[in-house]
Amino acid sequence: MISDWLEALPFPALVIGSDHRVLFANGPMNSLFDELGPRNEYFDPQYFLDRADERQPTQKVNNYLQGGEYVAKNIQIGYPPRNFFLRATRVISEGEKEYFCCVLTPQKFLDDVDYSELLDTVTSLVMQLDINGSISYLNERVFEKLGYDLSQPELAVRHIRDIDRNYDEAAWSERRQELREGRGINYFTQFVRRDGSLMPVEVSVIPDRFSISGRFTLTAQDITEQKAVEDRLREALLQVKELSREYQRENRQLKQTIRQQGHAKEIVSVDPSYQKVLRKIEQVASTQTTVLITGETGTGKELVAGRIHALSYRADKPLITVDCSALPPELIESELFGYRKGAFTGANDHKIGRFQAADGGTIFLDEIGEMPLGLQTRLLRVLQERTFTPLGGTRPIQVDVRVIAATNRDLRAEIEKGTFRQDLFFRLSVFPIHNPPLRERPADIGPLLWHFIQKFNARLNRRVTKVEPAVMDLLNGYRFPGNIRELENLTERALIVSSGDTLRVADIRLDVGAGEATATSHHPALSLPKADDLLTLEEHQRQYISYVLELTGGKVSGKGGAASILGMNAQTLFGRMRKLGLR
Ligand SMILES: Nc1ncnc2c1ncn2[C@@H]1O[C@H](COP(=O)(O)OP(=O)(O)OP(=O)(O)O)[C@@H](O)[C@H]1O
């Protein structure tokens, strides 16, 4: 049966017994033997000498035959000598007899190419395996890449499981099936180098079309570089995602800021002294100019900044506020300029700074006088160059931001003290706007009071539509150290305690303990005493009347007099004052 099959082969083939006796030779083999001279009954293993192998052929062939298989790549037989590729396979017959089937494939048939040399020149790792994963050939690249000594090619690698870190019997058996059915397979895995380190590889196994005993060629591509690039890309992608999340967060903050700005947009003022300020706002809004807004606390500096932004061509871009007094000095820098991941302990993510968030729009640096000196230098550079580098960053970022700064401090005095840089002051105060305190624009008190009554009516669900004249008298006589914010706060408090549609003087509590001194400051009658310090009604009246008299500058009757504030007839008040010992 096997002899029929061998006879049909176009290549020399013979069958020898385990004792080397020639049992069968097909036609091409017989022709070869004819060339070799007198035929011997026994086959001479000399013929199967691999030219590349220096060991004793007989011993080697015998060893291999005992192992069940012998492959020799470089055999020369005939006259003139021809190159053959030999594969000898042990076959056991039904009668348990052992013999060897030897097929010689002419190298010519294999395109006259010495594959081993060729394969040694390719950059991929090439191996030959059988269906069970046993390795019979490795090219030089495998030795090099896996760190084995080329001069000692006796590898510990005999099976694919010896180098494939992820080898798994079940997976290999699936692959085996694919290969048996003549399909190539591809997979990613890691090869283990001799020193134990791992090398990521992309593997493809293809059935060997010249293989008689079902061998396969495995090529593996070292993808360490690709992996590194992939990892970098993945990292970059994560960063992009994180940045986009950061931008979304910032965006929400911005929208919030813009909404808040929207509420405060209306600037209420009728006082002639404030009209100058409104004109200046309109003049400067449409320019690029840096603006410095000065004025006491609560005079509406932030409101002015919001109006300048709203009237500028940047109105649809963000207005970002940084309150330098609300941030710890060591945080201001990272808030303004942002930081890169790892810039300092705890910088686990990238963070964009407010300057970058304000790109295209306006940044409002409130309480600029509180900025630490070192940061003033950095800010000056940003104002000059319009670029900055985030903490831990390497590349400068260019921004188009209009700067509006505000302060309630006297910056010239700060320059004298050495706590504010003069050059920064000059840079900032290109266009100064001074916001006068409320006491210098008394005509605004009434309109502002109504403005806030409407605001808090809506917010507190009240319906105050009237104000006792005495309220106006009281407010007109007050110095408002906290300016418009104080008026706003006291209106809110008054609406909370008021009842009905009229705001009464009894609803108003002036916070005279706060801020700069006025004639009325430190008056105990205006802050509610603790339980232990409760006054008699008479003492309370004495203190309260003297407080109102201080407010009115001693005026008792007529418009703005104490009697009208207290809602009493002037004569009755005089009588009460006499009784209480007040002059
Ligand atoms: N002319 C005005 N019309 C209406 N509301 C005003 C006016 N001026 C100030 N306000 C309101 O008064 C409050 C304080 O104003 P703002 O915060 O702008 O003052 P500021 O000068 O920036 O204060 P600070 O120096 O304390 O930061 C805000 O609620 C603001 O809306």
Domain boundary among 113, 132, 148: 113
Nearest atom in ligand 1 to the alpha carbon of residue 408 is: 25
- For residue 453, being part of any structural domain is answered with yes
Alpha-carbon distance 266 to 285, whole Å? 16
Residue 486 Cβ < 6 Å to ligand 1: no
Residues 530 and 445 in one domain: yes
Distance from the alpha carbon of residue 75 to the mean position of ligand 1, in angstroms: 100
Residues 411 and 459 in one domain: no
pLDDT score of 484: 95
- Out of 485, 489, 490, mutate this one to test ligand 1's pocket (max ligand atoms within 8 Å of CB): namely 485
Residue 278 Cβ < 6 Å to ligand 1: no
Q: Using alpha carbons, select from 329, 290, 330 the residue that is nearest to residue 308.
A: 290
Residue 488 Cβ < 6 Å to ligand 1: yes
CA angle 572, 576, 578 (to 5 degrees): 120
| DSSP bridge pairs for 185 | 205
Domain boundary among 96, 113, 130: 113
- For residue 230, being part of any structural domain is answered with no
Residue 451 Cβ < 6 Å to ligand 1: yes
The CATH number covering residue 8 comes to 3.30.450.20
Distance from the alpha carbon of residue 364 to the mean position of ligand 1, in angstroms: 14
Q: Which DSSP state fits 410?
A: -
Question: For helices 537-551 and 570-580, what crossing angle results, to 10°?
Answer: 120
Q: Whose CA is nearest to atom 9 of ligand 1?
A: 300
Q: Whose CA is nearest to atom 29 of ligand 1?
A: 485
Residues 323 and 269 in one domain: yes
Domain total for the chain? 4
Residues 509 and 572 in one domain: yes
Residues 567 and 470 in one domain: yes
Phi, psi angles (nearest 5°) of residue 550: -65, -40
Residues 558 and 501 in one domain: yes
Nearest atom in ligand 1 to the alpha carbon of residue 444 is: 1
Task: Indicate the burial class of 11 (C-beta count within 10 angstroms; 0-12, 13-18, 19 or more).
Answer: middle
Q: Which DSSP state fits 26?
A: -
Phi, psi angles (nearest 5°) of residue 141: -60, -35
Kindly report whether the peptide bond that precedes residue 80 is cis, defined as omega within 30 degrees of 0. yes
Residue 298 Cβ < 6 Å to ligand 1: yes
Inter-CA distances, 226 with 72, 122, 145, 196, 239, Å: 37, 18, 16, 21, 19
- For residue 34, being part of any structural domain is answered with yes
Distance from the alpha carbon of residue 330 to the mean position of ligand 1, in angstroms: 27
pTM exceeding the 0.95 threshold for the entire prediction: no
Residues 93 and 151 in one domain: no
pLDDT tens for 33-91 read 887 777 778 877 777 776 666 555 666 666 666 666 677 777 778 777 777 888 777 77
> What is the pairing mode between strands 69-77 and 22-25?
unpaired
Q: Whose CA is nearest to atom 31 of ligand 1?
A: 264
Residues 499 and 552 in one domain: yes
| DSSP bridge pairs for 76 | 83
Residues 336 and 279 in one domain: yes
Distance from the alpha carbon of residue 300 to the mean position of ligand 1, in angstroms: 3
Residues in contact with 533: Cβ distance below 8 Å, sequence separation at least 6, in sequence order:
none
Whether ipTM exceeds 0.90: yes
- For residue 146, being part of any structural domain is answered with yes
pLDDT score of 492: 93
Q: Which residues of 96-108 are buried (b: 16+ CB within 10 A; e: fewer)?
A: eeebbbbbbbbbe
Nearest atom in ligand 1 to the alpha carbon of residue 306 is: 18
Inter-CA distances, 30 with 36, 109, 151, Å: 10, 19, 40
- For residue 238, being part of any structural domain is answered with no
Residue 267 Cβ < 6 Å to ligand 1: yes
Write out the DSSP string of 424-485: HHHHHTTEEEEE--GGG-GGGHHHHHHHHHHHHHHHHT----EE-HHHHHHHHT---TTHHH
Inter-CA distances, 497 with 168, 328, 337, 484, Å: 80, 37, 46, 20
Per DSSP, the three-state class of 202 is strand
Domain boundary among 89, 113, 137: 113
The CATH number covering residue 563 comes to 1.10.8.60
Alpha-carbon distance 495 to 457, whole Å? 7
- For residue 66, being part of any structural domain is answered with yes
| DSSP bridge pairs for 205 | 185, 218
Q: Are 188 and 201 in contact (CB under 8 A)?
A: yes
Q: Whose CA is nearest to atom 24 of ligand 1?
A: 297
Residues 53 and 146 in one domain: no
Residues 85 and 218 in one domain: no
Nearest atom in ligand 1 to the alpha carbon of residue 299 is: 21
Alpha-carbon distance 469 to 466, whole Å? 9
- For residue 241, being part of any structural domain is answered with no
Residue 269 Cβ < 6 Å to ligand 1: yes
pLDDT-flagged residues of the chain (< 50): 111-113, 210-213, 263-264, 514-528
Q: Using alpha carbons, select from 375, 318, 376, 385 the residue that is nearest to residue 352.
A: 318
CA angle 362, 367, 373 (to 5 degrees): 100
Domain, as residue range, for 572: 440-580
pLDDT score of 37: 75
Residue 301 Cβ < 6 Å to ligand 1: yes
E strand or H helix at 102 = strand 98-106
pLDDT score of 518: 40
Q: Are 486 and 528 in contact (CB under 8 A)?
A: no
Residue 295 Cβ < 6 Å to ligand 1: yes
Residue 264 Cβ < 6 Å to ligand 1: yes
Per DSSP, the three-state class of 156 is coil
Residues 147 and 187 in one domain: yes
- For residue 237, being part of any structural domain is answered with no
Nearest atom in ligand 1 to the alpha carbon of residue 269 is: 1
Residue 473 Cβ < 6 Å to ligand 1: no
Distance from the alpha carbon of residue 305 to the mean position of ligand 1, in angstroms: 10
Alpha-carbon distance 175 to 183, whole Å? 9
